[in-house]
Structure 1
Amino acid sequence: MIVAFGTYDTGRHPRVGVLVDGLRAHGYTVTELDRPLGLSTAERVRMLRQPWRLPALLVRLLRCWALLVGDVARHRRRHGAPGAVLVGYLGHFDVVLARLLFPRTPVVLDHLVFAGDTASDRGARGLRVRLLRGLDRLATACADVVLLDTDEHAALLADVAPARARRGVVVPVGAPRAWLDAAAPPRGHDGPLRVVFYGLFTPLQGTDVLAGALADALPRAASHAGRPIEVTMIGAGQDLPSARARLADVPGVTWHGWVDPAALPALVAAHDVCLGIFSATPKGLRVVPNKVFQGLAAGCVVVTSDTAPQRRLLGSHVELVPPADPRALADRLLALADDAALAAARERAAAGRDLVRPDVVVTPLVDALRTRRVTP
């Protein structure tokens, strides 16, 4: 038996659900001991960057931990010790508690986000970044296996915590089953090209690049006799005001705040094209975002930046454009408004859907567990 443990929230961060579903598909019994903290990634990072917010985080965290301690005690009485403990995404603090509660059990930490790296990407500098890198070192020291999503993040682990580099296992993000189930047959060619972007409006996303591309592509599409382009923009974040200002006078753009996670797969699947990330920031060059996997799973053509990890994992199935290049992105969207180009891109995308399934992406974790004699 494996215990999935922590304060994660699969509604906000579906990665943990992908791992759990994948392990179950390989025959493991997985029990979830989860008390969601109720904070988004942006809220957690903001608290870490603004020390005066930490007492509120600590109070909420201790309340969740008290419940988890009781959950673990009851679980141990009924089932004994688990074969392994999986600490969910954003578990920098939770893994410390897991190590204390399960001192002789293999602990797996899903470390997709390095606290220091994320804070630096969002503008933090100096002592705060150094302290957060210390938190990354503490978290990885408490784990026997550290899950990363790309080879680039595995190299970052070796840089931040050299002594823990051998604990790293690369497991791509993948997509929940709900996204695979949401895929619909391709729409006909008689309407506009429907494009969707969703996520945090942060430097990692490259939403300034995206806004520039849309401000170029949509008027050009409208001025020709071919297919127009309509874009749905979903989410919030620090770069949202500038993106909205750039696109204020551009027709064909619809804006939404956060969409309920249960409704998001079907909403995305109703579009032809799902947009990924487009920045050239250091972090933007190291990640493959959720939306790339989810867009493929939902049956969309995915357009994203041509970076080493994205090209390596899914390059033959997604449409790649140079990072931080609004003109190239605009030209690619205009090209996809052609029926033949869109049909060919759909074929490439469909051939990659199996690669994002939970049972496929979790295979390296299964191998790591078996080397530690943790079997179904």
Structure 2
Amino acid sequence: MTGPVRVLQYRVHDPSYPRNRRLREHLRAEGCEVTVLTASRRGPRALRLLRDLATLVRESLRHDVVVLSELRLAHAPYVGLVGRLTRSTVVVDGFVGLHETEVGDWGRVRPGSLRARLLRLQDDLALRAAHVWLVDTEVRARRAVTSRAAAGTRVVSLPVGAPEWAVPTPPRAPGDTLEVLWYGNYIPLHGLDVVVAALALTQGRRDVRLTLVGDGGTRDATERAVRLLGIEHLCRFVDPVPEAALAGLISAADVVLGIFGSSEKARSVIANKVWQGLASGRVVVTADSPALVEIAPAAGALLVTTEPGSAASVADALCAVDPAAASRAVPDVDERLAAVVRRGWDSLAIVATR
């Protein structure tokens, strides 16, 4: 067969989301033709699903590879079946698991319950349905490889990396106040209860100011905690901003905060904000985890880790950090991180070849 590999990116929830956008750009750079199919949004749910399924069958006959987008694991069994019937390579992005999200992160489902077991089964079926399974860290890749559901599945770790706008900028001029930035969508993974408690513990030790950007999830609970601790004067809550505005917010900060949650997922991922803060030349303070081993050598002094679940450890880190010295120690951090990302994404060549 000749010609470029034809890739169908199926049920994309948001074409601009960094994960699926990077995947699409990488495959196109490798010479693939990529078609994006977003999920239907009009009509009853059952009708939308049938419409999308019909489109999947029709398009799979015209494509060599079907990529099931992240956040869509529940659809993997029928995508896997259609892929095998049409002799397409099925790639499933297991970036966000169903069980880890509902049981581990949000706690909306009780561990060991029937619903929890069903979510675990859905994750396993998604892994079994894939010819190629995508994750974001080596820790998660090793976990997938050892699963019985992974028999015959190629597991590939694709580091999240940082977008093009995340480039090093000169650190802020030293001053009396340490400007700390957190941004996100207020999910439990971020562990903002730990962050707020740590901020309170810095009082009398160092002048620390925290800007929180985002909305949803635990924002109301976070604002209540700030009021109860009497640290409103140390916090500034900002509504969500476009991704393009993050570069300016990061450059105005001394420190970017990562994640501090206690779930299994928190110990196995490297959050977008960690990559973005580091690539922008800022100190990133985040809870220690096995996943960080992948980037620690490249990040050097800019990566400051704390004891998981410990507000005191976070407070100590904020009081001791020297942003200017860390920035001088790793002037080429963006290039070093980019090399880590390239090594991971080079392993995706299996998708771009016949």
Q: TM-score range by the shorter chain?
A: 0.7 to 0.9
Per the alignment, residue 185 of structure 2 pairs with 200
Residue 220 of structure 1 and its aligned partner are, at CA, apart by 3.0
Aligned residue in 1 for 2:210: 231
The code of the aligned residue for 2:129 comes to C
Question: 1:116 is aligned with what amino acid?
Answer: H
Question: Which residue of 285, 289, 310 corresponds with 2:267?
Answer: 285
Q: Which of 150, 170, 173 is residue 188 of structure 1 equivalent to?
A: 173
Match of 1:352 among 333, 339, 342: 333
Matched, 1:361 2:341: yes
> What is aligned with 1:167?
154
Distance 1:20 1:211, change over 3 A: same
CA offset at residue 211 of structure 1?
Answer: 0.9
**Are residue 132 (structure 1) and residue 132 (structure 2) matched?**
no
**Secondary structure at 1:85's aligned position in 2?**
strand
Among candidates 56, 67, 89, match of residue 86 of structure 1: 67
Identity of aligned residues (%): 30
- Separation of aligned partners in 1, 2:140 and 2:185: 20
Among 5, 20, 24, the residue aligned to 1:20 = 24
SS in structure 1 at match of 2:12? coil
Match of 1:32 among 22, 28, 35: 35
Offset from partner CA, 1:49-84 (integer Å, 9 cap, x none): xxxxxxx9x9448527726854884796xxx433x3
The question of 1:324 aligning with 2:309 is answered yes
The answer to whether the aligner puts 1:107 opposite 2:90 as a matched pair is yes
AA aligned to 2:67 is: L
Q: Is the 8 A contact 1:85 1:105 kept in 2?
A: yes
Is contact 1:296–1:349 with CA below 8 Å preserved after alignment?
no
Q: Tell me if the contact between 1:157 and 1:164 (Cα under 8 Å) persists in the aligned partners.
A: no
Give the counterpart letter for 2:209 in structure 1.
Answer: E
Amino acid of the structure 1 residue aligned with 2:23 = L
Partner of 1:270: 252
Instruction: State the alpha-carbon separation in 2 of the partners of residues 361 and 73 from structure 1.
Output: 34
Look up the equivalent residue of 1:28 and give its one-letter code. Answer: G
Code of the residue aligned with 2:38 in structure 1: it is: R
**Distance of aligned partners of 1:234 and 1:11 in 2 relative to their CA distance in 1, 3 Å threshold:** farther
Structure 1 residues 14 and 209: CA distance shift in structure 2, 3 A: same
Count of aligned residue pairs for this structure pair = 338
Q: 1:176 to 1:373 in 2, by over 3 A?
A: closer
Name the structure 2 match of 1:5. 9
Which structure ranks higher in relative contact order (CA pairs < 8 Å, sequence separation ≥ 6)? Answer: 1
- Asked whether the equivalents of residues 158 and 165 of structure 1 are also in contact (C-alpha less than 8 Å), the reply is no
Counterparts in 2 of 1:283 and 1:363: CA distance versus 1, 3 Å: same
Change in Cα spacing, 1:2 to 1:242, as seen in structure 2 (3 Å) is same
Preserved CA contact (<8 Å) 2:6 2:63: no
Among 226, 242, 245, the residue aligned to 2:221: 242
* TM-aligned CA deviation for residue 276 of structure 1: 0.4
Match of 1:294 in 2: 276
Residue of structure 2 in register with 1:144 after alignment: 131
1:263 to 1:204, Cα distance in 2 relative to 1, 3 A: same
> Post-superposition shift, 1:316?
5.3
Deviations 1:107-128 (A, max 9, x none): 2211111111221112112111
SS of residue paired to 1:328: helix
Secondary structure of the corresponding residue to residue 281 of structure 1: coil
Residue in 1 aligned with 2:237? 255
Question: Mind listing any 5+ residue stretches in structure 1 that lack a counterpart?
Answer: 39-55, 222-227
Shift of the 165–171 alpha-carbon distance from structure 1 to 2, 3 Å rule, reads farther
Contact 2:261/2:308 (CA < 8 Å) preserved in 1?
A: yes
Q: State the Cα distance separating 1:134 from its structure 2 match.
A: 1.3
What does 1:108-123 align with in structure 2 at a 5 Å threshold?
108-121=91-104, 122-123=106-107
- Structure 2 gaps, min length 5: none
Q: Structure 2 counterpart of 1:3, which letter?
A: V
Secondary structure of the structure 1 residue equivalent to 2:295: helix
For residue 247 of structure 1, give the secondary structure of its aligned residue in structure 2.
Answer: helix
Inter-partner Cα distance in structure 2 for 1:305 and 1:157:
23
Task: Give me the CA root mean square deviation.
Answer: 3.2
